[in-house]
Structure 1
Amino acid sequence: MSKEVMNIEEAAQYLSISERTLYKMVKENRIPARKVGRQWRFHKDALDSWLKGEEKG
Structure 2
Amino acid sequence: MTEPWLSADDIASHLGVTKDTIYTWIAEKGMPAHKIGRLWKFQATEVDDWVRRGGAAAQEGSEPS
TM-score of Structure 1 vs Structure 2, range by shorter chain: 0.7 to 0.9
- After superposing on structure 2, the runs of 4+ consecutive aligned residues of structure 1 that deviate more than 6 Å are none
Identity of aligned residues (%): 26
Q: Which amino acid aligns with 2:39?
A: Q
Describe how 1:29-44 pairs up with structure 2 within 5 A: 29-44=29-44
Aligned length: 53
Describe how 1:20-35 pairs up with structure 2 within 5 A: 20-35=20-35
- Higher relative contact order at CA 8 Å, sep ≥6: structure 1 or structure 2? 1
CA RMSD of aligned residues (A): 1.8
Secondary structure, aligned partner of 1:6: coil
| Structure label with greater radius of gyration | 2
Q: Residues of 1 paired with 2:23 and 2:48: CA distance? A: 18
- Residue by residue over 1:2-54, the C-alpha shift from the partner in whole angstroms, topping out at 9 and shown as x without a partner, is x6321000000001100011111112242100100000001011011112118
Q: Which residue of 1 aligns with 2:63?
A: none
Q: Residues of 1 paired with 2:38 and 2:46: CA distance? A: 20
Q: Which runs of 5+ in 1 are unaligned?
A: none
Secondary structure, aligned partner of 2:30: coil
Report which of the two has the higher share of strand: 1
